[in-house]
C-alpha cells in the first residue's frame, strides 16, 4: 500500500484550499515519490446526500444487520478508499463557520456503526487504523488566533468525527482572511500555511511503511 487520498471540497476552480491541498500533496510526494494518488473532488463532483435506503439501513442495529440491497455500496467504496490510504489530504473552505456540505456528505458515508466505529456506553470507538490527515483550510475571515472574530465549528467538528472512527492524527493548516488576499500575497500566505506542516507524524504511522512496499 502506497497511496495518498486527496480530497478537495471547494466549488471554485481557482481556490485557495485547492492550491493548498495540492501543495501538501506535493510535499508528501517529495518524501514518497512513488506514492499513488486517489482523487475525490467533491467541489466538482459532489456525493449525493444520504439517501432513503442508506438512512433506513442505518436507522437501527436490526436494519444494519440486514441492510437494504445496495444501500451500503457507496459507503463501502468510500470507506475502502480511506482504508487504502497511507495519508489523507483534504482541502476545504470554511462555509458558515464549519465544513461545506459536500464534505459533510462524505462524512455521512464514512461514519458507520459496526464498520468504522463501535457504539459503546462511553461513546463511539474508532475501528480504523490511525493515519495522518492533513487538512488545508481556506477561510475568508479569521477563525483562529488572537484576531479571530468568529467561532470555529470546523476544526473541532472534524477532530470529533474523524477521531470517532480512529483518525486521530490530524493537522489543520489554515489560510485565513482570504477575502483580503490578491494575486500578489496569496502565494506567501499559502507558503506560510504549508510551513506549519509537521511531517514527523509520518514517522511511526502507516505512511513510511507504505514506502517500504507493504
Ligand atoms: C457559502 C459560503 C459561506 C462562507 N462562510 C464563511 C465563514 O463562515 N467564515 C469565513 O471566514 N469565510 C466564509 N466564507 C468565505 C470562504 O471561506 C473563502 O472565500 C474561502 O477562501 C473559500 O475557499 P476556497 O478559496 O478554497 O474556495 C464563505 C464562503 C461561502 C461561499
In the structure, what pLDDT confidence band is assigned to residue 201 with cuts at 50, 70 and 90?
confident
Asked if 135 and 24 count as a contact pair (C-beta separation under 8 A), the reply is no
pLDDT tens digits along 118-177: 999 999 999 999 999 999 999 999 999 999 999 999 999 999 999 999 999 999 999 999
Q: Output the ligand 1 site: residues, CB below 6 A.
A: 10, 12, 15-18, 93-97, 138-141, 143, 150, 178
pLDDT tens digits along 19-65: 999 999 999 999 888 899 999 999 999 999 999 999 999 999 999 99
What domains, with CATH codes, occur in the chain?
Answer: 3-211 (3.40.50.360)
In the structure, what pLDDT confidence band is assigned to residue 212 with cuts at 50, 70 and 90?
very low
CA of 14 to the centre of ligand 1 (A): 13
Residue nearest to atom 23 of ligand 1 (CA): 93
Cell of 135: 487538512
Asked if 76 and 109 count as a contact pair (C-beta separation under 8 A), the reply is no
Provide the whole-model pTM: 0.94
Question: Strand, coil or helix: what is 126?
Answer: strand
147 Cα distance to chain centroid:
26
Beta bridge partners of 58: none
CA of 37 to the centre of ligand 1 (A): 26
Amino acid at each position: 500500500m502506497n497511496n495518498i487520498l486527496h480530497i478537495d471540497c471547494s466549488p471554485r476552480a481557482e481556490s485557495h484550499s485547492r492550491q493548498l491541498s495540492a501543495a501538501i500533496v506535493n510535499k508528501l510526494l517529495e518524501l514518497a515519490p512513488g506514492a499513488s494518488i486517489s482523487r475525490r473532488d467533491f467541489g466538482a463532483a459532489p456525493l449525493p446526500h444520504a439517501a432513503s435506503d442508506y438512512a433506513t439501513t442505518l436507522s437501527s442495529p436490526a436494519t444494519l444487520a440486514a441492510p437494504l440491497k445496495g444501500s451500503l455500496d457507496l459507503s463501502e467504496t468510500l470507506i475502502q478508499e480511506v482504508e487504502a490510504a497511507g495519508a489523507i489530504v483534504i482541502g476545504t473552505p470554511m462555509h458558515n463557520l464549519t465544513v461545506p456540505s459536500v464534505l459533510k456528505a462524505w462524512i455521512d458515508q464514512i461514519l458507520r456503526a459496526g464498520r468504522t466505529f463501535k457504539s459503546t456506553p462511553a461513546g463511539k470507538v474508532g475501528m480504523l487504523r490511525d493515519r495522518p490527515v492533513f487538512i488545508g483550510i481556506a477561510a475568508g475571515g479569521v477563525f483562529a488566533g488572537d484576531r479571530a472574530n468568529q467561532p470555529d465549528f470546523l476544526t473541532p467538528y472534524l477532530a470529533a468525527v474523524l477521531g470517532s472512527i480512529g483518525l486521530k492524527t490530524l493537522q489543520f493548516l489554515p489560510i485565513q482572511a482570504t477575502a483580503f488576499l490578491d494575486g500578489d500575497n496569496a502565494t506567501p500566505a499559502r507558503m506560510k500555511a504549508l510551513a506549519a506542516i509537521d511531517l514527523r507524524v509520518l514517522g511511526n504511522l502507516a505512511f513510511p511503511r507504505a514506502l517500504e512496499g507493504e
